[in-house]
C-alpha cells in the first residue's frame, strides 16, 4: 500500500511540473487543426464599418437575383409585418376609438414622396432592415395637414460609415460625453446616384431619426444584413445550380464524333441526311472552323460513311446525389436566417405534420423575438410617440399619456381547429384573456368587441338567432335557458 502511494505521488508531481499541464484547457482554442482560424478581434464599431458596404451590396444582389434569397426575405417580412402591425390604445373606449380613427386617417399617406399607407411603410422599413441590415426614417414636421407629421424614408447609404475624424462621431452618428446618441450626419442624396454632385452632410438631431437594426454586440451602432451568415452559401448554391443546368442540358444533347480514315472527302454517293451547304456549283459538306465535316441525323436515315470512318457516341452524365446536396444546403440557409426549411423551400414531400409543426414553432419564436425586441421598440414606439405629440400640438388630442399595445399579424396555422379549441380552453381556465387571444390574431380587441356588439344588436332587432352567439345557443347547438324563457 505504501509503495502504491509513493508511485502515485511521483506520477502526480511529474504531471504538475510537465509542460503539458500548461496547454489550453478549451479545445476550441487549440491551434493544432485550426492554426489558420483566428476569428475577428475588432471592436463592434470598426468590424461592422469595415465590411458593411460589401455585405449590403451582396445581400441586395441575393434578394434581387437569387430565388432563395428573395424567398427568405419575403418570408421574414410576411412573418414580422404581413399586412401591418396595428395599435391598441390602453384608455377608455371612446377616447381609444378617436385615437385609432386619427391614426387611420393620418396613416393613409404618412410618408414624404410615397403613396404607401402606414402599413405599407412598415413593410418597406422591415424589408430594408432585413436586406440592408438597418432602416432609417426621419420624422418631419409639416405645416399642412390635419396632423402635422410626415415620415421621410432614406437608405442606409445616406449615413456614411466613414465621416470626418472626430472623437464624438462614429459611422455617421454623433455622441455626447455620456455615450448617448445626439445627432445623425446624413447626406442630402444617395451617394450611389452618380448623376448628381457629391452630397452635403446635414446634421439631424437623434430624436428626429428612427433607426432600426439588430445589435449583435454591446456597443454596436450599425446593423448588418440578416443574410450575412448565409451569403456564401447562397452564392455557392447558385453556382452549383448553374453547373447542374449546364450538365443536364449536355446530357440531353446527343453528340457523335466521326473517327478514323485520312480523307475528309465525302463518298461518291451522298445519302439523304448528310449536311450540305446548298451550293449551286456542286455538293459540298458543311464544315466547322477546322475544315472537318459536320453531319446531321434524321429519322429513319441510313448513313454511308467514307471508308475507314466510325461513329462514336458521347454520353455525358449529370451529377448524382443532387436532391441530397440541395436539401443539406437549404437546411443550412434556413437555419442561418431562422426560417423553417419547409417555409424556405416549399418542399413538403418528406415532412410529416408533426415535423412541419415543430419547424413552424421554432420559426415563430425567432420571428416574435425579431418583432418584439427590435421592430416594435425601434420603429413603432418612436413613431407612435411622434404621432401623439403631433396630435396634441395640432389640438386633436388633449395632453396626456396614451400607452399603446401592438397587435401583430396572426401566425399561419397548420391546424386551425386544434388551435382554436386550445385557445378556448385556455380562456376558460383563466390562463389567457380574451383580449390577448384577439391580439394574437392580429386584431384590435376594442374593434372586435365593437363589431360583435353592433352585430348582436342588429340580430336582436331583426329577431335572428345565431349559432355563433353563446348567449343564444350552446356549443352543443341547443337554445340557452334565457332564450327559451323569452
The mean pLDDT value for 37-51 works out to 90
Higher pLDDT, 455 or 320: 455
Q: Which whole number is the average pLDDT over 132-154?
A: 95
Span 292-318, average pLDDT: 65
Tell me what the mean pLDDT of segment 266-288 comes to: 49
Looking at residues 282-297, what average pLDDT do you find? Answer: 59
List the grid coordinates of 460.
Answer: 336582436
Q: Where are the alpha helices (DSSP H) in 265-352?
A: 322-337, 341-345
Model confidence at 5, pLDDT cuts 50, 70, 90, reads low
Which position has the higher pLDDT, 310 or 426? Answer: 426
Q: Residue 315 is placed in which grid cell?
A: 454520353
Model's pTM, two decimal places?
0.77
Beta bridge partners of 285: 276
Q: State residue 428's pLDDT score.
A: 86
Q: Which of residues 414 and 284 earns the better pLDDT score? A: 414
Domain boundaries, the chain: 41-247+320-412, 254-315
**At 48, is the pLDDT very low, low, confident or very high (cuts 50, 70, 90)?**
very high
Q: Of 178, 176, 174, which is closest to residue 211 (Cα–Cα)? A: 174
Q: What is the pLDDT of residues 383-402, one digit of tens each?
A: 999 999 999 999 999 999 99
Rounded Cα distance between 248 and 83, Å, is 41
Share of the chain above pLDDT 90, in %: 46
Contact 303, 274 (CB under 8 A): yes
- Cα(453)–Cα(21) distance, integer angstroms: 77
Report percent pLDDT > 70 for the chain: 78
Give the best-scoring range by mean pLDDT among 64-73, 276-285, 312-321: 64-73
CA distances from 315 to 110, 248, 291, 320, 420 (A): 62, 11, 25, 15, 58
The pLDDT assigned to 142 comes to 93
At 54 the pLDDT is 96
Give 304's pLDDT tier (boundaries 50, 70, 90): low
Cβ neighbours of 44 (radius 10 Å):
15
**Per-residue model confidence as pLDDT tens digits over 166-198:** 888 999 999 999 999 999 999 998 988 877 666
Instruction: Report the pLDDT value the prediction gives residue 69, as an integer from 0 to 100.
Output: 96
Kindly report, residue by residue over 226-247, the tens digit of the pLDDT: 999 999 999 999 999 998 888 8
370 pLDDT more than 50: yes
Question: Does residue 97 surpass a pLDDT of 50?
Answer: yes
Give the tens place of pLDDT for each residue, 437-475. 887 777 778 778 888 888 888 888 888 877 767 777 776
pLDDT: which is higher, 148 or 306: 148
Position 270 scores a pLDDT of 47
In the chain, % helix, strand, coil (3-state, to 5) comes to 45, 10, 40
Report the pLDDT value the prediction gives residue 288, as an integer from 0 to 100.
61
Element holding 263 (H helix, E strand): none
For the chain, the average pLDDT equals 83
Angle of helix 381-393 relative to helix 93-106, nearest 10 degrees, comes to: 100
Amino acid at each position: 500500500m505504501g509503495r502504491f502511494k509513493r508511485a502515485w505521488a511521483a506520477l502526480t508531481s511529474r504531471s504538475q511540473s510537465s509542460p503539458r499541464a500548461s496547454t489550453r484547457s478549451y479545445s476550441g482554442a487549440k491551434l493544432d487543426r485550426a492554426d489558420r482560424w483566428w476569428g475577428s478581434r475588432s471592436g463592434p464599431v470598426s468590424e461592422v464599418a469595415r465590411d458593411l458596404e460589401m455585405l449590403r451590396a451582396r445581400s441586395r444582389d441575393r434578394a434581387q437575383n437569387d430565388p432563395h434569397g428573395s424567398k427568405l426575405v419575403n418570408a421574414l417580412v410576411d412573418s414580422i409585418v404581413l399586412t401591418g402591425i396595428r395599435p391598441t390604445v390602453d384608455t377608455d373606449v371612446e377616447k381609444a376609438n378617436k385615437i385609432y380613427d386619427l391614426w387611420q386617417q393620418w396613416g393613409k399617406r404618412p410618408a414624404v414622396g410615397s403613396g404607401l399607407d402606414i402599413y405599407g411603410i412598415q413593410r418597406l422599413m422591415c424589408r430594408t432592415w432585413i436586406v440592408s441590415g438597418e432602416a432609417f426614417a426621419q420624422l418631419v414636421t409639416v405645416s399642412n395637414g390635419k396632423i402635422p407629421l410626415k415620415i421621410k424614408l432614406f437608405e442606409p447609404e445616406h449615413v456614411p460609415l466613414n465621416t470626418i475624424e472626430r472623437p464624438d462621431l462614429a459611422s455617421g452618428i454623433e455622441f455626447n460625453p455620456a455615450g448617448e446618441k445626439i445627432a445623425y450626419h446624413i447626406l442630402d442624396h444617395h451617394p450611389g446616384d452618380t448623376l448628381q454632385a457629391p452630397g452635403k452632410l446635414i446634421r439631424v438631431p437623434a430624436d428626429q431619426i428612427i433607426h432600426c437594426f439588430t445589435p449583435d454586440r454591446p456597443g454596436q451602432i450599425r446593423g448588418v444584413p440578416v443574410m450575412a451568415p448565409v451569403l456564401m452559401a447562397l452564392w455557392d448554391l447558385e453556382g452549383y445550380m448553374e453547373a447542374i443546368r449546364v450538365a443536364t442540358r449536355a446530357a440531353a444533347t446527343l453528340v457523335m464524333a466521326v473517327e478514323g480514315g485520312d480523307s475528309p472527302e465525302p463518298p461518291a454517293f451522298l445519302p439523304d441526311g448528310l449536311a450540305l451547304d446548298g451550293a449551286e456549283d456542286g455538293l459540298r459538306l458543311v464544315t466547322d472552323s477546322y475544315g472537318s465535316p459536320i453531319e446531321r441525323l434524321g429519322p429513319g436515315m441510313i448513313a454511308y460513311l467514307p471508308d475507314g470512318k466510325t461513329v462514336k457516341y458521347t454520353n455525358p452524365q449529370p451529377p448524382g446525389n443532387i436532391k441530397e446536396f440541395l436539401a443539406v444546403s437549404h437546411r443550412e440557409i434556413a437555419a442561418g436566417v431562422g426560417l423553417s426549411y419547409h417555409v424556405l423551400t416549399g418542399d413538403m414531400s418528406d415532412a410529416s405534420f408533426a415535423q412541419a409543426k415543430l419547424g413552424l414553432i421554432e420559426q415563430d419564436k425567432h420571428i416574435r423575438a425579431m418583432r418584439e425586441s427590435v421592430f416594435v421598440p425601434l420603429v413603432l414606439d418612436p413613431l407612435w410617440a411622434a404621432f401623439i405629440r403631433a396630435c396634441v400640438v395640432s389640438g386633436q388630442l388633449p395632453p396626456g399619456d396614451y400607452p399603446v399595445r401592438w397587435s401583430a399579424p396572426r401566425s399561419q396555422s397548420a391546424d386551425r381547429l386544434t388551435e382554436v379549441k386550445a385557445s378556448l380552453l385556455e380562456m376558460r381556465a383563466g390562463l389567457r384573456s380574451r383580449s390577448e387571444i384577439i391580439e394574437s390574431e392580429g386584431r384590435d380587441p376594442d374593434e372586435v368587441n365593437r363589431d360583435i356588439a353592433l352585430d348582436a344588436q342588429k340580430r336582436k332587432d331583426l329577431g335572428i338567432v345565431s349559432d355563433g352567439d353563446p348567449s343564444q345557443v350552446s356549443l352543443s347547438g341547443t337554445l340557452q335557458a334565457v332564450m327559451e324563457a323569452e
